[in-house]
Structure 1
Amino acid sequence: MELIKKNIHMDRIRCKASSQITLEEDMNIPDSKPDVSTLVYDKGRVQIEEVKPTADHVTIRGRLLFHILYQSREDGQQLVHVEGKIPFEEQVYLEGVQSTDSVQVNWQLEDLTIGMINSRKLSIQALMTLKASVEELYDEELPVDLYQDGLEGESSVEYCKNPVELTQVAIQKNDIFRVKEEIALPANYPNILNILWDSVKLEDVEVRPLEEKLSIQGEIHVFVLYESEGEEQTIRAFETVLPLGGTLDCHGCRDNMIADISWEIGNQELDVRPDFDGEQRMLGLELVLDMGMKMYEEDRVEMLTDIYGVTKQVDAVAREGDLKKLLMKIGGKSKVNDHLRVKNSTERILQLLHSEGKVQVDATEITEDGIAVQGVVNVQVLYVTGDDSNPYNCIKGIIPFSYTMEVQGISPGDSYRLNTQLEQLQVAMLDSEELDVKGVLSFGAIVFQSIPATIISNVNVSPLDVNILSDLPGIVAYVVKPGDNLWNIGKRYYIPVAKIKEINGLSGDELRPGEKLLIVKGA
């Protein structure tokens, strides 16, 4: 006798850990750059270069890349851009990881503080969190049928099946999506001499599964602050929005699959190019999106859940397993709003140039109502002042938020993946000293319900103990008790369920407490 099994492709996080590290370093201004008068704007990102797992540990090597915009002390060159990097190496304790595992590392830059030591030296301080995890694919072998060989007829073994609804992994892979665009300056903008600052962000990104491919749609927001050609070399700000659209081949993908797609900008290049007349009026943009693709499909399996013998002793060997099914794929939006003020009256706002924000999720928790999310939005606004000696400045602010994604039926043991983006950031002047900041947070989550299951892994067949049958009465008038069913009654008396129904003239499987059944041994 053999079990016929079906492989179900599952995924799980085997181990995970996080580490918070601080980086501090001083930076000398290059000799080719003028002295620093005031710091204006900054940004940073983490680049992971190497992940090396060993027994219960993982070594992460990378670097912090930072960009700084400052005002110089010299006349004629008001804004200057410098950049730098700080390498780091961190060993994270990750219990259960092995040297052959593939470890995924995510980062979050919690804080970046740039300080001025003197006109030729800056201090850089950063606080970041590294999250390491090992996610693995595995197969759960579910018994779906029984192959009988050597037993006396099909009726010598009784088994029952129960339907199990579950979700299994169909596709898991990483890929890249390339974007190449050329942007022409409007006619009323002067030629570009030098780019001082740029910002490229993706918003409203939607990835949908199609047949054998993925559809990628969204928006590319591009901001450029540049020094123009000409004797005055004025500083101009240019901002535009480009459509993001295309497809990415994905073998085996179908449009009815459940997509769980993560993406981030892996590489970005923005340069100045000549137009047809040879003038520097074109911007060339190249983006590489790192795509993490995981596709699920729902399945319904008739799983064999119990078995007993009529003429043989048949014992099931079972183990505890953990299946899962899609509970909900949900999205939601929440508005944030706050006012920001300048630090002192000498930094009054004359004109807004650019604003950007970054979502930082601090905590998530499963509650009775769903998934509670708490965090902050870090906002940075670049503006022109009314002070000719310091014509540019920046306002930074932190806007806290809390939001609950309603997920009916969620339990503490369920798993989920959360994605949060900032959309539609709008900054408006209330007066020369105060700004009104409004934004929309977009939340997306895929939630899986955990299904504990007792899975039969093997069946042992042995001769039936004659003493067991001899101890059973020949005929029993059985009174149905609460919780009884035909299956456990038949299993107790070694009688096929069909025979009990036939003898008692039952057309269905339902029994009522107090109902009387006639049980005949050897029927």
Structure 2
Amino acid sequence: MLELVKKNIHMNRWKGNATSQITLDDDFIVPDSMDDVEQIILSSGEITMDSVKNQAERVVVRGKMDFTILYRGAEGGLCTLSGSINFEEPINVPGLDEKDLVSVSCDLEDLNAGIINSRKLSVKAIVTLQVKVETLCDVDAAVEVDTKPASGDAPSVETLRKKVDVATVALHHKDTFRIKDTISLSGNKPNIDHILWNEMILRGVTTRPTNGKMMLDGELMVFIIYQGEGENAPVQWMEESIPFSGEIEVPDVTEDMVPVVTVRLIHRDIEAKPDSDGEMREIDVDAVLELDMKLYKEESMELLNDLYSTNRDLALQTGEACFDKILTKNMSKCKIVEKITLDQADRILQICHSEGTVKIDDTEVKEDGLHVEGVLEVKILYMTSDDTQPIQCAVEDIPFHFLIEAPGINDLTICQLNPGLEQLSAVMIGGGNVEVKATISLDLLALQPVCEQIITGVTDSPMDFNNLQKLPGIVGYIVQPGDTLWKIAKKFHTTVDTIMTTNGLTESTIKPGDRLILVKEVS
């Protein structure tokens, strides 16, 4: 009798994705303790997802958008107003099962703060939610055949194996990394009365798996606008880069795994504090990063592709196993150099801060690559010569396109693209022009779905010797197109080794028109 030795292939296969765009809109009253609104200078928002739940072919996402607005008051001073808008959005995902793995990413596409009147502001935002679904698959595929003698001799079995590369999700892990530091004001800056505005931005973040750990490094850019201490003190600003590096314990991770890591700021806190002389000249920075780590492992295995016996009749049961293999992992750099002209250019004294957001508009599969189109939204904050409007902000969109190399890519390829901003600078070059230089990172993991026929079972029975005797004992054969030694050996009841020995072949490659002598095997 024959028994198949099987191996379980555990796979996470992409099942599909869905996208939903929602509009957040609300009005907010300016507190009585704050000045009337004369002009909005800056606005920023951040999306926080509180829960993601699978419900009968749909995903329900609950979260909120926290926003901050910097405005110039009627009396000329700067004020900061904060608030939040809650949302709950059901997203239809056909075929979704409760056991499927769901990941949701959110992007704040647009935030617009407007003045209704001096005591009331409107806040509108467009949020894009993208749902990606993976399903767990387990397939038992034959990798070997075990022959055990029954009433007679053991079956003489010939096997054909096929090598396949399978990408499986080895682990999916979330963790946090904390950055704490203290920034001191330079000597030419006045003491801090109170902080009006602050921003934290991640730049150039890289991750690398090692055995049992995930290595992390990058820069935390900190920008602050504050009111100087003392009567009639001017508004001040400062910008500081805090480099960081560290490691996160991740059991079972190995350095040969392929990482897909998303890093985002989930907590940021900035507080002014006195220095050793009791003067408000130091700033405590506290930031928490969340790392969503998915690590793929490539496994190469040999599956039984076909088998037959020279002394038994075999009936094969077959099936199909579909899995993903890693087509490419490519970290590309797209460099941008662009000149833009700002409004009120003649009044600009100095650019004090710039930040950018990478937005992908479209991706298209091209020959041997993925073509990416998007925009870099650049926000430039600058000081003016107008004492009534000392700080102004301009937002410019810079389009870009780039071809990420991915040999073998096609319309079935599953592309996981993670864009980021590594470097950004904005410098006045005269004539009211600003030169913007940026480096955009495009981290692509391309998975290729592959389906293979596998052997799931086999039954054997005694050989029909009447049919065997009808086959000639020796025959001359001319190789036909599509022939292989395996196909010929199976058809004429012989073995590949016998054909090679009989014909003096040193390799198994044959071509149409070759002449072979075939000798029937009789066990």
Give the distance between the partners of 1:510 and 1:497, measured in 2 at CA.
11
1:188 paired to 2:184: no
Q: Report the counterpart of residue 242 of structure 2 in structure 1.
A: 242
Give the distance between the partners of 1:30 and 1:20, measured in 2 at CA.
31
AA aligned to 1:263 is V
Q: Note the alpha carbon deviations across 1:391-449, whole angstroms, 9 max, x for none.
A: 22211111111111122232222222212112321112244744332222122212234
Q: Report the counterpart of residue 138 of structure 1 in structure 2.
A: 137
Q: Note the alpha carbon deviations across 1:121-140, whole angstroms, 9 max, x for none.
A: 11111112111122244344
Give the distance between the partners of 2:102 and 2:18, measured in 1 at CA.
11
1:163 paired to 2:166: no
Deviation at 1:107? 0.8
Q: Report the counterpart of residue 37 of structure 2 in structure 1.
A: 36
Distance 1:407 1:15, change over 3 A: closer
**Which 10-residue stretch deviates more, 110-119 or 7-16?**
7-16
Q: Note the alpha carbon deviations across 1:130-169, whole angstroms, 9 max, x for none.
A: 1112224434444221112245555522211133344333
Give the distance between the partners of 1:178 and 1:300, measured in 2 at CA.
38
Q: Report the counterpart of residue 427 of structure 1 in structure 2.
A: 426
AA aligned to 1:383 is Y
Q: Note the alpha carbon deviations across 1:451-501, whole angstroms, 9 max, x for none.
A: 332122222323444553354344433333233222112222333433444
Give the distance between the partners of 1:97 and 1:388, measured in 2 at CA.
58
Q: Report the counterpart of residue 202 of structure 2 in structure 1.
A: 202
Give the distance between the partners of 2:429 and 2:502, measured in 1 at CA.
87
Deviation at 1:93? 0.6
Give the distance between the partners of 2:57 and 2:515, measured in 1 at CA.
60
Give the distance between the partners of 1:506 and 1:383, measured in 2 at CA.
79
SS at match of 1:173: strand
AA aligned to 1:493 is F
AA aligned to 1:253 is V
Q: Report the counterpart of residue 258 of structure 1 in structure 2.
A: 258
SS at match of 1:490: helix
Q: Report the counterpart of residue 359 of structure 2 in structure 1.
A: 360
Q: Check conservation: 2:310, 2:521, Cα contact below 8 A.
A: no
Distance 1:447 1:282, change over 3 A: same
Q: Report the counterpart of residue 113 of structure 1 in structure 2.
A: 112
AA aligned to 1:33 is M
Deviation at 1:320? 2.1
AA aligned to 1:377 is L
AA aligned to 2:288 is V
Q: Report the counterpart of residue 4 of structure 1 in structure 2.
A: 5
Q: Report the counterpart of residue 326 of structure 1 in structure 2.
A: 326
Q: Note the alpha carbon deviations across 1:88-133, whole angstroms, 9 max, x for none.
A: 1111111122334442111111111111111111111111211112
Deviation at 1:344? 5.2
Give the distance between the partners of 1:453 and 1:485, measured in 2 at CA.
19
Aligned positions, number: 520
Give the distance between the partners of 1:158 and 1:71, measured in 2 at CA.
84
Give the distance between the partners of 1:34 and 1:193, measured in 2 at CA.
17
SS at match of 2:121: strand
Q: Report the counterpart of residue 71 of structure 1 in structure 2.
A: 72
SS at match of 2:490: helix
Give the distance between the partners of 1:224 and 1:52, measured in 2 at CA.
38
Q: Check conservation: 1:337, 1:399, Cα contact below 8 A.
A: no
Q: Check conservation: 2:325, 2:449, Cα contact below 8 A.
A: yes
Give the distance between the partners of 2:98 and 2:445, measured in 1 at CA.
30
Give the distance between the partners of 2:474 and 2:483, measured in 1 at CA.
19
Distance 1:336 1:237, change over 3 A: same
Deviation at 1:318? 1.9
1:453 paired to 2:452: yes
SS at match of 1:222: strand
Distance 1:227 1:204, change over 3 A: same
Q: Report the counterpart of residue 16 of structure 1 in structure 2.
A: 17
Distance 1:136 1:190, change over 3 A: farther
Distance 1:153 1:74, change over 3 A: farther
SS at match of 2:63: strand
**Which 10-residue stretch deviates more, 8-17 or 62-71?**
8-17
AA aligned to 1:17 is A
Distance 1:267 1:117, change over 3 A: same
Counterparts of 1:40-439 in structure 2 under 5 Å? 40-75=41-76, 78-150=77-149, 152-153=152-153, 156-343=156-343, 348-431=347-430, 433-439=432-438
**Which 10-residue stretch deviates more, 59-68 or 484-493?**
484-493
Computed over aligned residues only, the root mean square deviation of the Cα atoms, in angstroms, reads 2.3
Give the distance between the partners of 2:287 and 2:258, measured in 1 at CA.
26
Deviation at 1:507? 4.8
AA aligned to 2:337 is N
AA aligned to 1:235 is V
Q: Check conservation: 1:369, 1:404, Cα contact below 8 A.
A: no
Q: Check conservation: 1:223, 1:237, Cα contact below 8 A.
A: yes
Q: Note the alpha carbon deviations across 1:374-393, whole angstroms, 9 max, x for none.
A: 11111111222222222222
Give the distance between the partners of 1:223 and 1:101, measured in 2 at CA.
41
Q: Check conservation: 1:212, 1:252, Cα contact below 8 A.
A: yes
Q: Check conservation: 2:27, 2:122, Cα contact below 8 A.
A: yes
Give the distance between the partners of 1:481 and 1:153, measured in 2 at CA.
35
Q: Check conservation: 2:155, 2:311, Cα contact below 8 A.
A: no
Deviation at 1:521? 5.6
TM-score, normalization by structure 1 = 0.93
Q: Check conservation: 1:350, 1:432, Cα contact below 8 A.
A: no
Distance 1:257 1:521, change over 3 A: closer
Distance 1:100 1:408, change over 3 A: closer
Give the distance between the partners of 2:33 and 2:467, measured in 1 at CA.
96
**Which 10-residue stretch deviates more, 278-287 or 363-372?**
278-287
Distance 1:143 1:231, change over 3 A: same
**Which 10-residue stretch deviates more, 254-263 or 49-58?**
254-263
TM-score, normalization by structure 2 = 0.93
Deviation at 1:372? 0.7
Distance 1:100 1:157, change over 3 A: closer
Point out where structure 1 has 5 or more consecutive residues left out of the alignment. none
SS at match of 2:375: strand
Distance 1:162 1:99, change over 3 A: closer
Give the distance between the partners of 2:227 and 2:389, measured in 1 at CA.
17
Distance 1:296 1:51, change over 3 A: closer
Point out where structure 2 has 5 or more consecutive residues left out of the alignment. none
Deviation at 1:30? 1.2
Give the distance between the partners of 1:362 and 1:208, measured in 2 at CA.
28
Give the distance between the partners of 1:80 and 1:5, measured in 2 at CA.
69
Give the distance between the partners of 2:186 and 2:402, measured in 1 at CA.
41
Deviation at 1:319? 1.9
Distance 1:209 1:521, change over 3 A: closer
Deviation at 1:348? 2.8
AA aligned to 1:67 is T
Q: Note the alpha carbon deviations across 1:174-215, whole angstroms, 9 max, x for none.
A: 222222222222233222221111111111111112221121
